[in-house]
């Protein structure tokens, strides 16, 4: 049996445990000056705590590994201790690296052996609903080596010849058919061995983990994402996140 055809732990059965790695080590340059993005408050609670709760809300997730900004690792540990989190879930904090890719790898290195399925979830997507998390896990359990939640695009996308530092008009190279494009979100779900292999072998710049698995020649599948799984990147995204939280609180009141 070749390596490729042997059933991986994720495919072998339902005993496989699921862990979530949360890269949270970025500074949040595009959000503007202030604390590291994951530690900024949303509805009075750090964004990271929202993201951890979103992963722990899934009954399948029994470990959350937070990859913290190296200087704030101790602060992140005490934040996790001081906020209410489900009893059934364990937590680990590890210091992150210079790139998201490096931070994810450091999180993977900290995973105990019994975890056969791993989710990778941006701390910057604090409001992803639990149904999206469960849909991703289910698709991995059914045998997909890599699963990404994604949404159709509202905008038409053009490929250009980038103008570079001077700015200036950029010639359009192509207009891909919008109906075939998807904007991908997190959590992305993986057979653990596949993701580890991708991180060991793929070099060069990548903006998502599933892209590394594609480079191994494996099929990545898309499942429906959710509008509320948007990434908090720029100041306006904070306004939207606060509005989503306010609406949830209102709905919970009824
Ligand atoms: N991330 C990380 N380690 C890095 C860089 C990013 O763990 N060295 C994490 C961020 O904390 C975030 C996720 O990767 O949760 C997605 O990255 P992004 O939204 O780009 O966050 P930042 O890199 O913090 O933001 P910016 O690019 O604006 O600085
Ligand atoms: Mg970044």
Q: Say how many Å lie between the CA of residue 233 and the centre of ligand 2.
A: 8
- Its sign, for the CA torsion 139, 102, 107, 152, is negative
The reply to whether 167 falls in a domain is no
Residues β-bridged to residue 204: none
Res 6 pLDDT > 80: no
Residue whose CB lies within 8 A of the most ligand 1 atoms, among 20, 22, 26, for a mutation test: 26
The reply to whether 187 falls in a domain is yes
Q: Say how many Å lie between the CA of residue 69 and the centre of ligand 2.
A: 13
Average pLDDT (153-166) is 93
The reply to whether 81 falls in a domain is yes
Count CB-CB contacts under 10 A for residue 173. 10
pLDDT digits (tens, 9 = 90+) for 64-118: 999 999 999 999 999 999 999 999 999 999 999 999 999 999 999 999 999 999 9
DSSP-derived letter for residue 241 is H
The reply to whether 162 falls in a domain is no
Residue whose CB lies within 8 A of the most ligand 1 atoms, among 37, 102, 206, 207, for a mutation test: 37
The residue whose CA has the least distance to atom 16 of ligand 1 is 122
What is the C-alpha to C-alpha distance for residues 65 and 79, in angstroms, rounded to an integer?
14
The reply to whether 207 falls in a domain is yes
Spell out where the chain has E strands.
Answer: 17-23, 41-42, 45-46, 61-68, 90-95, 115-120, 146-152, 159-160, 172-174, 182-184, 188-191, 220-224
Q: What is the pLDDT of residue 14?
A: 46
Residues β-bridged to residue 150: 184, 224
Spell out where 69-202 has E strands.
Answer: 90-95, 115-120, 146-152, 159-160, 172-174, 182-184, 188-191
CATH number, position 142: 3.90.550.10
Average pLDDT (159-170) is 91
The reply to whether 166 falls in a domain is no
Average pLDDT (4-9) is 50
Residues whose CB is less than 8 angstroms from the CB of residue 237 and which lie 6 or more positions away in sequence, other chains included:
31, 230, 231
pLDDT level of residue 189 (50, 70, 90 thresholds): very high
Average pLDDT (159-188) is 95
The residue whose CA has the least distance to atom 25 of ligand 1 is 28
pLDDT digits (tens, 9 = 90+) for 206-235: 888 999 999 999 999 999 999 999 999 999
Q: What is the pLDDT of residue 1?
A: 40
Res 159 pLDDT > 80: yes
The reply to whether 219 falls in a domain is yes
pLDDT level of residue 165 (50, 70, 90 thresholds): confident
Average pLDDT over all residues of the chain: 93
* Residue 10 near residue 46 (C-beta atoms within 8 A): no
Q: Among 14-18, 150-154, 160-164, which is the least confidently predicted range?
A: 14-18
Range of the domain at 193: 9-150+182-252
| Number of the ligand 1 atom closest to the C-alpha atom of 23 | 7
Q: Say how many Å lie between the CA of residue 122 and the centre of ligand 1.
A: 8
pTM score: 0.93
Number of domains into which the chain is organized? 1
The reply to whether 76 falls in a domain is yes
Q: What is the pLDDT of residue 8?
A: 53
Q: Say how many Å lie between the CA of residue 215 and the centre of ligand 2.
A: 21
Q: Say how many Å lie between the CA of residue 67 and the centre of ligand 1.
A: 11
Average pLDDT (184-190) is 98
Which pair of structure tokens corresponds to residue 23? 């890269």
């Amino acid at each position: 049996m070749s390596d490729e055809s042997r059933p991986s732990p994720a495919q072998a059965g339902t005993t496989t445990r699921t862990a979530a790695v949360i890269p949270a080590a970025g500074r949040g340059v595009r959000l503007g000056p202030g604390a590291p993005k994951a530690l900024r408050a949303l509805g009075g609670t750090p964004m990271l705590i929202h993201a951890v709760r979103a992963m722990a809300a899934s009954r399948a997730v029994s470990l959350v590994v937070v990859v913290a900004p190296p200087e704030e690792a101790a602060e992140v540990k005490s934040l996790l201790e001081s906020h209410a989190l489900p009893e059934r879930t364990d937590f680990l904090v590890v210091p992150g690296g210079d790139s998201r890719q490096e931070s994810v790898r450091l999180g993977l290195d900290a995973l105990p052996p019994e975890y056969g399925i791993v989710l990778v979830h941006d701390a910057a997507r604090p409001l992803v609903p639990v149904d999206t998390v469960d849909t991703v896990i289910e698709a991995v359990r059914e045998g997909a080596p890599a699963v990404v939640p994604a949404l159709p695009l509202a905008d038409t996308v053009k490929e250009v010849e980038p103008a570079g530092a001077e700015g200036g008009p950029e010639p359009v190279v192509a207009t891909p058919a919008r109906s075939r494009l998807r904007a991908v979100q997190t959590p992305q779900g993986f057979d653990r061995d596949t993701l580890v292999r991708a991180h060991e072998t793929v070099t060069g710049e990548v903006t998502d983990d599933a892209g590394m698995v594609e480079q191994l020649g494996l099929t990545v599948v898309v499942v429906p994402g959710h509008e509320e799984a948007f990434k908090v990147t720029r100041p306006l995204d904070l306004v939207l996140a606060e509005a989503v939280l306010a609406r949830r609180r209102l709905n919970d009141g009824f």
